[in-house]
Structure 1
Amino acid sequence: MRRILALLVLGLAFAFGQKELRLFIWSEYIDPAILEAFTKQTGLKVRMDLYESNEEMIAKLQAGGVSQYDLIVPSDFYVPSLIRLALVQPLNHALIPNLKNLSEKFRNPPFDPGNRYSAAYQWGTTGLIYRKDRVGVPKTWGAIFKEPKAPFILMDSPREMLGIALKYLGYSVNTLDPKQVQQAGQVLLTAKRSRYFLGFEGGVGGKNRVVAGAATYAVVYNGDAVRAADENPTKVAFAIPQEGATLWVDSMMIPAKAPNPEGAHRFINFILDPKVGAQLSNYNRYATPNQAALPYIRPEDRKNPAIYPPQELLGRLEFILDLGKNNRIYDEVWTAVKSR
């Protein structure tokens, strides 16, 4: 009965309230056809603004975006900070019946127990996109960290880039040892001083420069690389070096002062529909957290280890955790890396 009443209230809100949904999301991260289908079903036009890093997204929220946007899609390790900073509001589960479609491991994530504030959107890994027409498969992160011999780009994301350097050194991406984090920072500083270093890029920037031929390697998210490899099969490929890398989950959240929270709930529920969830992953080439969507995922993608890593590879991958007050260790080292 509670769910029926909630959905009735939601329907009345749409009838007399907002006719627009403001989405703040990573670039190249949703099939435009999904937005069109949502508008057709709900009458809500989706206005979309883009960001290239979690830091950029949070800065915009703190500068007034918290009352301008209805939905954001942050990475897992930023979810606790968004909650602590009161930048997001709790979800009304009665308005998201499709929440039940999430795989078990995404229903009660450690960064948001009980999905009180978030619902998983996509998950994936980091790795190297590279020009296969110029170099062989990069078996180690040493391809860019130890005497690089070709132009490369680093990811403009502190925890992910430091995490990769930590994996290269044999440490955990969530180490609390300041000396280990400083060693990782030194790895990145050494890479920066290489004549082959072309800079830091967020979002799809590194992928685009490799595809264009300006760089040979770039640290990127796997889905971006998989799509690029499909479009340029003789030129580019994706690999996760032997030391391992980071895992991530992006989740849907509603800003604390969203102008249309009812529409945001409806959008979350729409994305969690099995066929829509599959359409999203088939477009993005990232793994779906939606168990009910798996039967609709392309068979070739289900078998692609770059999208759904095998158990052996998963053992070398780590989720980045929010470290609370210990995040400052990483922030300080990253600031030093970027400023020198």
Structure 2
Amino acid sequence: MRLSRLFTTAVAIGALLSVTACGSSDSSGSASAFGLNPPDMEAQSELGKTEGQVNLIAWAGYVEDGSNDPNADWVSTFEQRTGCKVNSKTAASSDEMVKLMKTGQYDAVSASGDASLRLIASGDAAPVNTDLVPNYEDVFIGLLNQDWNSVDGQSYGIPHGRGANLLMYNTKEVSPAPTSWSSVFDDSGPYKGRVTAYDSPIYIADAALYLRETQPGLGIDNPYALDEEQFEAAVALLKRQNANVGEYWSDYLKEVAAFKSGDSVIGTTWEVISRLAQSEGADVKAVLPEEGATGWSDTWMLSAKAKHPNCAYKWMNWIISPKVNAAVAEYYGEAPANVKACDVTSDPAFCDEYHATDESFWRDIDVWTTPIEQCLDGRTDVKCVPYSKWVQAWTEIKG
């Protein structure tokens, strides 16, 4: 098992169109009702002759050809079967992906939920004909026609995988075992200097999610749709938390090291990080708190300027085919998108450990989104705080 995404803090300021999805588990695909009106484009109606190559933008670990790890190669067989040579560019952040897609030099991208609707709104992503992707019919229902990958029922991508931002704690240092995010917010005092938090402006949504459950009077519905009062409440909570935070992490290796050494004893994490820490001897456990959690979902999106669309379609179908999707999920550390992938993972328990088939688990996960002024919860009587202000506030929060 290996975690390959080395996140850097996603600072999307001037380049932001600030449009993305609202991360609900409802399959309404109603993003346009909240101010998103993508350019009028039609999806490709049929596959043509493959063009001989495909240019991809991806997270590290998604497009492996054996050069990094001889046991991780799902590119070579694809090239042999399709005649499409794969050229890939690894991106370090969602903002970088958006900028690269705007160049028109790439055919597809593995966009996370904090980038996908920005690409749709700008016209950089094309609608996708899912009939041309046979393996799409086996994608988990919780990933189909979601607000981060579709608009008014029109798909703009092929789901790849998903993960949750969980609460990890040192089982010897933290007692009683935490069940709420209060342990890193309102009740974090006992762990002063040993609390850790994810280093990104999008972490403000974690505070908003907690406030949604603990301060209902604020009226928070979607943690990515915050009016000024709601936003200030979340920022104030994070400023109070800052006094107890020992480290904001973006490099998973540093978080593992901090929990092993005892410098950190409680904070936000990913499932794969907790398992890596356990395998290296750390006394840790990860849980989904009673308030739910934020999370991420990645989608393969087709460029509106794709020069090799037929090879791109072939790739999208290949990457979610059962054996390949299983291999990527285990290598990367995430829940796969294809139901049948769970039957062919090398570890029979993998999908259970990553909650792949547990849709009730994912209903408690609010997927990352980039906030916009048009409130994604449907309110029209107020303006919501856009992501550019989240970036500014994050600098203030960290001091």
| Shorter-chain TM-score tier | 0.7 to 0.9
Match in the other structure for 2:157: 118
1:263–1:223 Cα change, 3 Å: farther
After superposition, residues 50-89 of structure 1 pair within 5 angstroms as 50-62=90-102, 64=103, 67-89=104-126
Q: Is the CA contact 2:135–2:321 (under 8 Å) kept in the aligned structure 1?
A: yes
Q: Distance in 1 between matches of 2:352 and 2:58?
A: 28
- Partner AA of 1:294 in structure 2: C
After superposition, residues 137-286 of structure 1 pair within 5 angstroms as 137-145=177-185, 146-147=188-189, 148-159=191-202, 161-169=203-211, 170=213, 171-172=220-221, 173-194=223-244, 196-201=245-250, 204=252, 207-210=255-258, 213=261, 215-226=264-275, 228-229=276-277, 231-232=279-280, 234-286=282-334
SS of the residue aligned with 1:33? coil
Q: Is the CA contact 2:63–2:88 (under 8 Å) kept in the aligned structure 1?
A: no
Q: Is the CA contact 1:229–1:238 (under 8 Å) kept in the aligned structure 2?
A: no
1:224–1:41 Cα change, 3 Å: farther
Q: Distance in 1 between matches of 2:391 and 2:209?
A: 16
- The answer on 1:301 being equivalent to 2:359 is no
Q: Distance in 1 between matches of 2:317 and 2:243?
A: 47
Q: Cα distance, 1:237 vs. partner?
A: 3.4
1:22 pairs with 55, 63, 71, which one? 55
SS of the residue aligned with 2:49? helix
1:129–1:51 Cα change, 3 Å: farther
Q: Distance in 2 between matches of 1:57 and 1:76?
A: 12
- Partner AA of 2:192 in structure 1: K
Match in the other structure for 2:374: 326
Q: Is the CA contact 2:61–2:331 (under 8 Å) kept in the aligned structure 1?
A: no
Q: Distance in 2 between matches of 1:242 and 1:116?
A: 32
Q: Cα distance, 1:115 vs. partner?
A: 5.0
CA RMSD of aligned residues (A): 3.3
User: TM-score by structure 2 length?
Assistant: 0.68
User: TM-score by structure 1 length?
Assistant: 0.78
Q: Is the CA contact 2:225–2:371 (under 8 Å) kept in the aligned structure 1?
A: no
Q: Cα distance, 1:158 vs. partner?
A: 3.0
1:51–1:225 Cα change, 3 Å: farther
Q: Is the CA contact 1:153–1:201 (under 8 Å) kept in the aligned structure 2?
A: no
Q: Cα distance, 1:200 vs. partner?
A: 4.6
Q: Is the CA contact 1:206–1:218 (under 8 Å) kept in the aligned structure 2?
A: no
Q: Distance in 2 between matches of 1:247 and 1:143?
A: 19
Q: Cα distance, 1:192 vs. partner?
A: 2.8
SS of the residue aligned with 2:335? coil
Q: Distance in 2 between matches of 1:38 and 1:152?
A: 44
- The answer on 1:10 being equivalent to 2:49 is yes
User: What per-residue deviation string (whole Å, max 9, x for no partner) do you get for residues 136-181 of structure 1?
Assistant: 544332333332334344223433x122111222254244443122
Q: Distance in 2 between matches of 1:325 and 1:92?
A: 30
Q: Cα distance, 1:277 vs. partner?
A: 1.9
Q: Is the CA contact 2:106–2:303 (under 8 Å) kept in the aligned structure 1?
A: yes
- The answer on 1:335 being equivalent to 2:388 is no
Q: Distance in 1 between matches of 2:168 and 2:260?
A: 12
2:78 pairs with 33, 38, 56, which one? 38
Q: Distance in 1 between matches of 2:264 and 2:135?
A: 42
- Partner AA of 1:246 in structure 2: T
1:236–1:115 Cα change, 3 Å: farther
Q: Distance in 2 between matches of 1:77 and 1:294?
A: 27
Q: Is the CA contact 1:222–1:307 (under 8 Å) kept in the aligned structure 2?
A: no
1:310–1:43 Cα change, 3 Å: closer
Q: Cα distance, 1:215 vs. partner?
A: 4.0
SS of the residue aligned with 1:307? coil
User: How many equivalent pairs are there?
Assistant: 321
Q: Unmatched 5+ residue regions in structure 2?
A: 1-44, 65-71, 214-219, 376-383
SS of the residue aligned with 2:167? strand
